[in-house]
Amino acid sequence: MVSIKAAALVSYNYYFYFPDLLSEQDALKYPQKNAEILQTRSNTHYKCAEIVRDAMLANGGIYIKLGQHVSAMSYVLPIEWTSTMIPLQDKCNSSSIENINRLFKSDLDKDLSEYFSWFDPEPIGVASLAQVHKAQLSETGEIVAVKVQHSDVLTYSLVDTKIVTSLFKLVYKLFPDFQFMWLADEMNLSLPVELDFTNEMKNSIKLAENFKNRKDIPITVPRVIDATKRILIMEFINGRRVDDLDYLQKNLIDPASVSKEIARAFGEMTFNDGFVHCDPHAGNLFIRPIDNKSRSNKSHKHNFELILLDHGLYRTLSPEFIQKYALLWTSLIKGNVDEIKRQSYELTGTDLHVMLSCIVTGQSWASISEGKLNEASVNITFSQDELIGQNDKFFAELSKVMSCIPRDLVLMIKTNDLVRQLDRALFSNLDENRINHATMKTWMILSDYCISSLYKINLMEYTRLHKDQRLSIPSFFSNLFALVKIRIDYWMVKIPISIYYLWLTILDYC
């Protein structure tokens, strides 16, 4: 009922209080009128976002999750909407200890007191779908983190997702230019997976396995001890949110190194493993200082470890997708407009390459097309207005792009955006020079992963094509030439990147 009332109010407001924009010429001719129109539109956005946020709060569960999802998409949705949804991040109702006990009884056939020698009734964190408690296992005495799903979330999730989908369909009927069905599609796809904690267990095991051989990247994944659909018991790891700058300073942890390692970890997941954590907000990325004694089996040189939490939302990327995505990023970093057009068409089947480039990189088209992603002057804190301008055309184009791009790319865009938000938080106390260097290094790490993954793909393709071929002398030489070209292409990019990277590192130390 609350949802239907909210939908009616939002439709009413957008229908009657959302004036059309003036044409570009008229906007220049009548600046006063233009400003009034923009203000009215912005007010309506705010008003509607508040109506929807209050309805989400009243409904709880998946509605709050959806609101959090919206607040995380700051480059693809109007700022009025994303900022209004931010309070939802810490407005979740907690489950009572009696409910948790009932959950344990039904899922594990044990009381809390049988399973744990103590159980902190005060949750460490409460989220839309679940909450986490600290406890001690009776059997081994180990301190653990226990994630329990709110009892009514699963019960109502099916009907709730149906209601949300119908509301999105209604919005689409009323405003056909604004195709936001992709948000509902994404939710319908992700939610059932996120609501089954055995998936989270499998994801965390797989991620830990993938990073087992990358001991130089300081990433730790809490070991899972037990899991059912609605309960997850894992190793408790002490740490603080990665954006806690006072904590970093107190422990002499360099924020620029943290950002660099986050970039490497996500480069590894995206371009090497094709298995990506898609919710890296600061609450899911913890940090803890380590000294030489507690360095465990990791051989990295850092004085910190990053702890990746919440493994509910992952994407497995196909090699074809990784190749196209790496090619797109390479063209964006080079600022090669023809190539950007081609690669963006490959990924979306549209000619909306400008919009796609902006939302993938979080930069303005001017910076991208002038090849500035590769320069220290690139601005990581540009305003949204610079990117989008305040116009209908923007959102119509944006919604078109989002509705026609592959689902995997939707999540990769969200993941990129979250990683950029982490960077912005980490860099906020650095001086301008260090920010420039750190930003440059992040782009270089990304470039490095792109070219390395393309190199690997090209080599594999070469091996596949030539595996069973009987060679005549001319074809032997042409194959050899092709192989050498693959290697030269790679090193021609790899060497300058490495030298420049080293140079920036030397400058940082001077």
Ligand X SMILES: Nc1ncnc2c1ncn2[C@@H]1O[C@H](COP(=O)(O)OP(=O)(O)OP(=O)(O)O)[C@@H](O)[C@H]1O
Closest separation in Å from C-beta 50 to ligand X:
22
How far are the Cα atoms of 246, 370, 507 from residue 433, in angstroms, in the given order?
Answer: 21, 21, 10
Instruction: Return the residue nearest ligand X (CB atom).
Output: 125
Buried b vs exposed e over 489-508: b needs ≥16 C-beta within 10 Å?
A: ebeebbeebeeebeebeeee
Residues 6 or more apart whose Cβ sits within 8 Å of residue 181 = 168, 169, 172, 403
Binding mask of the shown chain, residues 124 to 143, with x at each position contacting ligand X by CB under 6 A: xx-x-xx-x-----------
Question: Applying CB under 6 A, does 347 fall inside the site for ligand X?
Answer: no
> Binding residue for ligand X (CB under 6 A) from 21, 57, 237, 396?
237
Of the two residues 124 and 460, which places its CB atom closer to ligand X in the complex? 124
Among 234, 317, 454, 493, binds ligand X (CB under 6 A): 234
User: Considering only residues 145, 153, 171, 451, which one is a binding residue for ligand X as defined by CB under 6 A?
Assistant: 145
Q: Does 236 bind ligand X (CB under 6 A)?
A: yes
What does the angle CA 280 – CA 286 – CA 291 come to, to the nearest 5 degrees? 140
Residues of span 411-470 touching ligand X by CB under 6 A: none
Q: Is 310 in the site for ligand X (CB under 6 A)?
A: yes
* 222 makes contact with ligand X (CB under 6 A): yes
β-pair partners for 29: none
CA angle, 485 then 487 then 493, to 5°: 100
Give the 3-state secondary structure of residue 117: strand
Question: Which lies closer to ligand X via its Cβ, residue 123 or residue 335?
Answer: 123
Per CB under 6 A, 147 contacts ligand X: yes
243-249 contact pairs (CB < 8 A, 24+): 243/282, 243/422, 243/425, 243/426, 244/287, 245/425, 245/426, 245/428, 245/429, 247/287, 248/287
* Rounded-to-integer distance, Cα 295 and Cα 301, Å: 9
Do residues 364 and 332 lie in contact, with contact meaning Cβ atoms separated by under 8 Å?
no
Q: Confirm whether 279 is a catalytic residue.
A: yes
Instruction: Verify binding: residue 309, ligand X, rule CB under 6 A.
Output: yes
The catalytic residue among 160, 196, 254, 279 is: 279
Question: Contacts with ligand X: how many residues (CB under 6 A)?
Answer: 19
The least distance separating ligand X from the CB of residue 439, rounded to whole angstroms, comes to 26
Pick 192 or 283: Cβ nearer ligand X:
283
Judged by the rule CB under 6 A, the positions of this chain that interact with ligand X are 124-125, 127, 129-130, 132, 145, 147, 222, 234-237, 279, 283-284, 309-310, 312
Residues annotated as part of the active site: 279
